Chain A
Amino acid sequence: MSQTHRIDAKLSAGQVDRSRTLRFHFDGVAYAGHPGDTLASALLANGVRLMGRSFKYHRPRGPISAGSEEPNALVELRSGARQEPNTRATVAELFDGLTAQSQNRWPSLRFDALSINDRLNSFFTAGFYYKTFMWPASFWEKVYEPIIRRAAGLGTLNRQEDPDSYDKGFLHCDVLIIGAGPAGLAAALTAGRSGARVILADEDFRMGGRLNAETFVLGEASGADWAKAAVAELASLPNVRLMARTTVVGTFDHGIYGAVERVSDHLLEPLPGKPRQTFWRIYSKRAILAGGATERPIAFENNDRPGIMLAGALRAYANRWGVAVGRRVAIFTNNDDGLRSAVDLAAKGVDVVAIIDSRADATLLPGIRHLRGAVVTDTAGRLGLSQVTVRHADGRSETIGVEALGVSGGWNPVVNLTSHHRAKPVWREDIAAFVPAGGESGLAPTYVAGAAGGDLSTHGALVTGNEMARRALEDLGFAARPSDLPRAEDAPVVLQPLWHVKGAKRAWIDQQNDVTVKDIKLAHQENFTAVEHLKRYTTLGMATDQGKTSNVLGLAVMAELTGKTIPQTGTTIYRPPYTPVALGALGGRARGRDFKPFRLTPSHKWAAEQGATFVEVGYWMRTQWVPRASETEWRQSVDREVLATRRSVGICDVTTLGKIDIQGTDAGVFLDRVYANTFSTLAVGKCRYGLMLREDGMVFDDGTTARMAPNEYVMTTTTANAVAVFRHLEFCRQCLWPDLDVQLISTTEAWAQFSVAGPNARNLLQKVVDQDISDAAFPYMAAGSITVGGLRARLFRISFSGELAYEIAVPTRYGDAMIRKLMEAGAEFDAVVYGTEALGVMRVEKGHVAGNELNGTSTALNMGLGKMVSRKKDSIGMVLSQREGMSRDDGLRLVGVKPVDPADALKAGSHLLKTGAAATVQNDDGWLTSLVWSPHLGHYIALAYLKNGANRLGETMRAVNLLAGTDVAVEIVSPHFIDPEGERLRG
């Protein structure tokens, strides 16, 4: 097909490069367009008006606009992994090789089976879902919702990984100018010439805004040429950053704006190393909103056929893209701007057969059939407009054959970005539109210029753009030079509001969500008259276009129905984003492995060499187990690591535990207040297990803390809480006791720390360290500074496994050397490295609590550690841990659980019930918190919280897991399965 609707270049060259041809496909059909086209302009040039189907009724639809406000012409752009649903054809820049598919139709765009919904429209009115799918309730999830989901909706996702990358960026400027139409360009010139750092962002790929779509003259130049010259001057200024293809999507606090730059959307594929889109966070000292205005339609019967368009869009296609949407067109207007469309189109050889002007007293336009006091009452044409029915002022009806109809109901300033800070737009009667409240909104003063502020003429745009820039510069202390603005059109707004043609029923207000005048009437009838209710009951303005062309129309109709004025009726406001933003752009590089940072332990390289399996623990990758060649099941590796450790010696990287150095003359006092137990009495060279509570009395964290010197302690925290504990200690130090002499620093990253556990732990370490570490010289719970081959190191005799054990710390950069040295020294003892699984097995065997028990809802008493909470001193959580409900004698207590028959498997998450009791919530006595296979004992063991557990040792109970369908007889035992007297660790 050729470009049958391209206007002769001599009449309207437009801003497309006709010397070059771009090939593209829509629904499998090949077409041609030119650089400078959008997908919509190129399709219209090829005579294609039908581009989609509506959301609910599957009505045939074509574009009604030439910009980002488009509700109808949504397509799936590209194919394969790059397919992108719901892309507006009116802003998709044409490129060679572009492919697009229509959406929300089956089997084809021209014949859509679900257009039956249109015939059934009396069922699908506002509130349809609320009324129809109420009963039976159980049908909602399984029957109604799947059917509705299949029938409704827009484009589809292909479920393939997006092959492109997205970026995030940060920019700072003195003045951010949003929109590069006449107001934005005037503002940018004034601000740029003053030397201020300026960012000018515009969503279009060509700056100039409406100047590119109009036939205005500025001074001696055409509007488009003036814009081009202005952009060229701005590009030459080093202090100005021009950002085309960049939509400012949100206003945030303190002068921060979010913007999406479509870096590569106009290319078949991104250039190597380039992202598809970049999400910018722009920090501005001042911002000037110059986003222009959006034309609004008039509602009349069947006003949604392809070919019916906003009048300003019709002339934009002719002026900017050299495209005549139809050979024979009519204009339906309530204002003088609509007449401008007729004049422009006629000048380009388009046959303007009639202007239907609702105003009886409009100034008569010569040369064109200008029907005053007339309205459009209906239209015809199944897949595209073929005729309109006009009711003349005298009541007579006439049908007129046309291919396109331009509709103008006036222009709405784009108030979206000022609404983001909850500034309610105010109604201006003289232009019959909402404008941003005042000249400022939000926190950093925001200036609104041009049509966005209600100054709808080009002259007004230039003057206010310059003026707002001058004000912004004055605020910031820049001297604004006087600027000479070109002469420009200064037509007043001449408009008599007409929102909908009386008597119309299926007259579309919101074309994307299929909301009609009838729906508004129904909402009124059912008393959903408040704008917020109207919106939610009818879904007016809730589609992806946020009602850019429909909101004001809908509430104006409601105002008529209720007999109120529009300001009395009020308006809903807009939220970010201004236009839809791809999740990829919001995610940036944070996807897959890079979703969050990950950290490697000092022994990671060595462990990887051994073929270790790693597991994420917080941000850390820790060794989970280290399989040997003969081992095919993870349990084989874990069992071996546990047995080898308990038999001889095992080594585990425990660097991930939080380490905090605490120094100062009040360090001991400070620790007494943040720990439930006492540390000021701890001897130098010793360490102690510490229990930390939250102020509400629940256990926060635990770990050992060593006293290295009279005024110097080293605290360890759990891996998970390393950051939270440090933050809490700083809070206590700065906010609660600001005059204590105590200093904190996190040294988690400074020390590589290894646990060496097992009967041969001392024998191994004695080969490595320079000092005597015999039991006499370095007894259980000793701590101190030592050296390893002269290198400074720290040694702690502490045990999580229940074995004779030490933790040895060396500066992090020696961590890799240390693990190699330990393994070399341990060879004669058959030393193994054990991972987090074996660590878990050994701590459960020993009855130590960990994350599963420290779950944020457990008290010291629950854990059997109630006596650790000292009442002789004030400490965080001490008082509230004494609350009645938390200190009951028959409350939950930590116990051990083992199957009565050692052959029985236990299931994690099982609940404990009395033998014979039904498995109900009322009979629930507790649950298994941690569960492991003990290779030492040869059966499963578990830790559990059990009601009155301390008094139930020896009781036989049921461990029931209803999800897994298991029911096992178990015995309640002490949580210390191995070496309850602690003889091993003192050995």
Chain B
Amino acid sequence: MIINHPILGPRDAQEFVYLGDASLIQRPDGMTASIEAFHDYTYLRDNSAGPHRELWYHEQGDRSWLVVTRNTLTHEILKVELARDVARAEGRSR
């Protein structure tokens, strides 16, 4: 598999480490959220047959975390973004 890194261009998937669903970006606030909310955040995932947003880490590279949108049926990669940009766009800051 080849991941088109937004900064470094096409890179082999072997350089990356896979984490999982990009919903992990949406971590609840530990000071206000319930155990149930954290349970859902930690354990519940959609198992989509089709486009899937997921986190990849360029460990053998520039250490960027990426959000890769991949079709799980064909492995076609539809979009690759810096996770930091995605996190900011989703309202995360400090």
> Does A associate with B in a complex?
yes
B77 CB to nearest chain A CB (Å): 8
Which A residues are CB-close (under 8 A) to B39? 880, 883
B94 touches A731 (CB 8 A): no
Interface members, chain B 53-79 (any A CB < 8 Å): 55, 57, 59, 63-65, 74-77
B75 touches A253 (CB 8 A): yes
B12 CB to nearest chain A CB (Å): 8
Q: Please classify the interface of chain B as helix (H, G, I), strand (E, B), loop, or mixed, using the class held by over half of its residues.
A: mixed
B42 touches A443 (CB 8 A): no
Which B residues are CB-close (under 8 A) to A252? 1
A730 touches B93 (CB 8 A): no
Which B residues are CB-close (under 8 A) to A735? 24-25, 55, 65, 83-84, 87, 92
A172 CB to nearest chain B CB (Å): 11
A738 touches B42 (CB 8 A): no
B38 touches A880 (CB 8 A): yes
* Binding-face segment, A7-15, A871-879, A895-903: A871-879
Which of B29, B75, B88 lies in contact with A874, CB distance below 8 A?
A: B29
A285 CB to nearest chain B CB (Å): 11
* A256-B2, A730-B65 known; A880 vs B35 contact (CB < 8 Å): yes
* A256-B2, A443-B76, A874-B29 known; A727 vs B59 contact (CB < 8 Å): yes
Does A734 belong to the interface (CB within 8 Å)? yes
Which of B1, B31, B74, B93 lies in contact with A737, CB distance below 8 A?
A: B93
Which B residues are CB-close (under 8 A) to A255? 2
Does A749 belong to the interface (CB within 8 Å)? no
| Total A residues in contact with B, Cβ cutoff 8 Å | 32
Does B30 belong to the interface (CB within 8 Å)? yes
Does A440 belong to the interface (CB within 8 Å)? no
Which B residues are CB-close (under 8 A) to A485? none
A738 touches B84 (CB 8 A): yes
Query: Residue-by-residue, is A647-668 near B (CB-CB < 8 Å gives 1, otherwise 0)?
Result: 0000000000000000000100
Query: Residue-by-residue, is A856-882 near B (CB-CB < 8 Å gives 1, otherwise 0)?
Result: 000000000000000001110011101
Interface members, chain A 723-764 (any B CB < 8 Å): 723, 727, 730-731, 734-740
Query: Residue-by-residue, is A250-286 near B (CB-CB < 8 Å gives 1, otherwise 0)?
Result: 0011111000000000000000000000000001000
Does A164 belong to the interface (CB within 8 Å)? no
Which B residues are CB-close (under 8 A) to A723? 59
Most B Cβ at <10 Å: residue of A255, A443, A735, A883: A735
* A695-B42, A874-B31, A879-B38 known; A727 vs B74 contact (CB < 8 Å): no
B94 touches A879 (CB 8 A): no
Interface members, chain B 1-53 (any A CB < 8 Å): 1-2, 13, 17, 19, 24-25, 27-31, 33-35, 38-39, 41-43
B86 nearest in chain A by CB position: A735
Which A residues are CB-close (under 8 A) to B31? 873-874
Which B residues are CB-close (under 8 A) to A731? 19, 24, 55, 57, 65
A727 touches B17 (CB 8 A): yes
Which of A696, A727, A730, A875 lies in contact with B42, CB distance below 8 A?
A: A696
A286 CB to nearest chain B CB (Å): 14
B63 nearest in chain A by CB position: A730
A665 CB to nearest chain B CB (Å): 11
A281 CB to nearest chain B CB (Å): 9
Most B Cβ at <10 Å: residue of A442, A666, A727: A727
Which A residues are CB-close (under 8 A) to B55? 731, 735
Which A residues are CB-close (under 8 A) to B25? 735-736
A879 touches B83 (CB 8 A): no
A730 to B25, CA, bound (A): 12
Which of B29, B42, B76 lies in contact with A880, CB distance below 8 A?
A: B42
* A731-B65, A874-B30 known; A882 vs B35 contact (CB < 8 Å): yes
B64 touches A734 (CB 8 A): yes
Which B residues are CB-close (under 8 A) to A443? 74-76
A442 to B59, CA, bound (A): 27
A739 touches B64 (CB 8 A): no
A737 touches B92 (CB 8 A): yes
Which B residues are CB-close (under 8 A) to A669? 94
A304 to B31, CA, bound (A): 75
Chain A residues with a Cβ under 8 A of chain B: 252-256, 283, 421, 442-443, 666, 669, 695-696, 723, 727, 730-731, 734-740, 873-875, 878-880, 882-883
The 8 closest A-B pairs by CB, nearest first: A874-B30, A254-B2, A739-B93, A253-B1, A879-B38, A738-B84, A253-B75, A734-B65
Known: A735-B83, A873-B31. 19 other contacts (CB 8 A): A253-B13, A254-B1, A254-B77, A256-B1, A443-B74, A695-B27, A695-B42, A696-B43, A727-B17, A730-B57, A735-B24, A735-B55, A736-B25, A737-B93, A874-B30, A878-B30, A879-B33, A879-B35, A880-B35
